[in-house]
Chain A
Amino acid sequence: MAMHGHDGALMEGSPYAIPSRKLTMWLFLISDAVTFGAILFGYGYLRTASSDWPAPFKFNPSILNVIIMTFVLITSSLTMLGAVDSAKAGDKAKANRFLWSTILLGVIFAGLHIREWFALIDEGVRLFQNPWGSPLFGATFFSITGLHLLHVICGVVAIAVISRGFSRGSLTAGHVETTGLYWHFVDLVWMFVVPLIYLLNISR
């Protein structure tokens, strides 16, 4: 379908029938998925090639902590869905309540994650050494979970900015929806990080 742009030039409509910002976010998420895929494959490569890969994660505190973190992150996806729906309906107050609930859950997730990091550091895990086995364990663990944690922190900041802009009227429901896509992606990545990084390395 053809339409006129601002300068009067003839433009084609989006073949996907979505706004360009949403398509851009999808393309970013695809590239991000491939980035996470690459580092997870790299981790798999090192784990397979090491005969003494450590399995340090005990049920309490590590796996229990991961269960709570997973619950918190999946719940935050649900509150983000509520925010997008309320924003599309024009209910700013409700959308902001949902957005701030998402932020709160994101902060709780990040806090639990940092606590997990400090517990491992206390046990002697560093980037290139640990008390149990292959020295590359720390490098892969901190890189992968660190990149994910960075995504969570960026997401929390982005949602806060979007919430402020949306309540002031400078940003639209489309911005909330696009940020929601990003947040769900962060949740999606965690679904792969948990089994590959934690559950395959539980202490028996």
Chain B
Amino acid sequence: MTAPRKSGNVIAKYLPVYFVLLGIAGLEVFLAYQHFSTAALLVILLGLAICGGALAVMYFMHLAQERRSLFLTLIPATIFVLLMMNMFWSDSFRLLRMRPFPH
């Protein structure tokens, strides 16, 4: 059991991350009202969301302060699984055009 330590001003320490996250959220709303195509907007918003998510994981969840082995165990496997889910997009485009698969 670890002994209690002196409380620092953790709010001030993480305020920059907090403001960056709020800024990303604001930027997303602003960009959503610009005239991008849906595909371009999706890529931009997803990119910003990934940046925000990475900041939250690394600083709010303190993964940056943990051993690198924890990061290497958790994050690459998660990204791999999420990337593997992309395989069904071709089927959703096929459904949109109602075309059967070529035989």
Contacts and interface: CB of A to CB of B under 8 A. Distances in A.
How would you classify the secondary structure of chain A's contact residues: helix, strand, loop or mixed?
helix
A113 to B, nearest CB: 16
Given A49-B95, A200-B45, A185 B70 contact: no
Contact of A86 (B7, B25, B42, B93): B7
B89 A45 contact: yes
Given A16-B69, A49-B96, A200-B42, A34 B82 contact: yes
A75 B21 CA distance: 10
A26 B72 CA distance: 13
Contacts of B45: 195-196, 199-200
Interface residues of B, number: 53
A129 interface: no
Top 7 nearest A-B pairs (CB, nearest first) are A90-B4, A89-B7, A195-B45, A49-B95, A85-B10, A199-B32, A48-B92
Interface of A: 15-18, 23, 26-27, 30, 33-34, 37-38, 41, 44-46, 48-51, 59, 63, 67, 70-71, 74-75, 77-78, 80-82, 84-86, 88-91, 94, 172-173, 181, 184-185, 187-188, 191-192, 194-196, 199-200, 202
